[in-house]
Amino acid sequence: MSDQIVTGKFPSARMRRARRFGWSRELSAETRLSVSDLIWPIFIHDQPGDLDVESMPNVQRVSINTLLGLAEQAQSLGIPAIALFPSAEESLKDEKGSEAVNPENLVCRAVQAVKERFPDLGVICDVALDPYTSHGQDGVLVDGYVANDETIEMLVQQAQAQAQAGCDVVAPSDMMDGRVGVIRKTLDDAGLIDTQIMSYAAKYNSAFYGPFRDAVGSAPSKVSRSGGKGTYQMNPANSDEAIREVSMDIEEGADSVIVKPGLPYLDILQRVKDTFGVPTYVYQVSGEYAMLHAAAEKGWLDLEAVMMESLLGMKRAGADGIWTYFAKDVASALRDS
């Protein structure tokens, strides 16, 4: 075989030529990760100090005062947007998640504070009831079942309160049928036509969400395909269903869509982007973040290398942007590279 190669019996094309040097690898790179691809999820609470999230290394629940410092870091690093997730006081939780619609709640006050100081930084708000419900479900329970339309009535009020507080993008993560269309009409009728809707259009009933629920302090809710969150979040076995979900949300007025989780669902991400061509985002969820950290702490993986590789894979699959708890670390690494 070596004689045949040397004597030119094979074509002269060699794929390794472009891999020989760093500069040529850069020139031939098909996919690039940049700071402008990043959305930084941040957990907030109504306490004066900050609290470590034990299951998510280097992640904290922060006060509004600390949040302003993180927002300043995001802006200085070039991260285009942050996303806020509240950890509500237990005393504020009830069966309906009533605190979600309070225009003076933690999220609304945090949005106002950030936009006043950093008007050019994008702020995204989660539209869902689970941080505020005593039962930990994403909606209103009727006879033990998360009722679709009753939940939408609350979500609409929540989205409007967030938008009026100055939120740039509302992101419904509840997976109720028809909620995007009702939220869009309500925002438009209220004169909030510039508020974007980034819909969690393909959100799966995943076991990778565990650390997130610790971070927001939501009541325990077991992942189940026969009940609970499995009655509204998608079955991990399904792909065609995701296309139907995304199609419905776009038709109802979503400006962009999210696939969640990330690495286990890159096939879904690619299908969505290839099918619709709309701005498509992916969420590298808490469990993905935690397991990379855990493996690195054991010395089994190089954290920075797998951090960058995992996000690059999401970009290669079609993501226009990535929600990741690594956002600040990635931005710093890209700046210093």
Tell whether 117 is covered by a domain. yes
Tell whether 107 is covered by a domain. yes
Q: How far is CA 293 from the centre of its chain?
A: 18
Q: Is 254 left (phi over 0), alpha (psi -120 to 50) or beta?
A: beta
CB 273 within 8 A of CB 310: no
pTM of the complete model: 0.93
Tell whether 13 is covered by a domain. no
Report pLDDT digits (tens) over 274-285: 999 999 999 999
Beta-strand ranges (E) seen in 168-320 are: 169-172, 196-203, 256-260, 280-283
3-class SS at 305?
helix
Q: Which residues are catalytic?
A: 203, 260
Report pLDDT digits (tens) over 97-111: 999 999 999 999 999
Tell whether 244 is covered by a domain. yes
Tell whether 208 is covered by a domain. yes
Tell whether 316 is covered by a domain. yes
Per the structure, the complete domain to which residue 244 belongs is given by: 33-336
Q: What CATH number is given to the structural domain containing 246?
A: 3.20.20.70
Report pLDDT digits (tens) over 217-270: 776 654 343 357 999 999 999 999 999 999 999 999 999 999 999 999 999 999
Tell whether 23 is covered by a domain. no
Per-residue pLDDT, 14: 86
Reported confidence tier of residue 8, pLDDT bands at 50, 70, 90:
low
Q: Is 92 left (phi over 0), alpha (psi -120 to 50) or beta?
A: alpha
C-alpha closest to that of 306 among 336, 337, 284, 323: 284
CB 125 within 8 A of CB 101: no
Instruction: Count how many domains the chain has.
Output: 1
State the CB neighbour count (10 A cutoff) for residue 36.
13
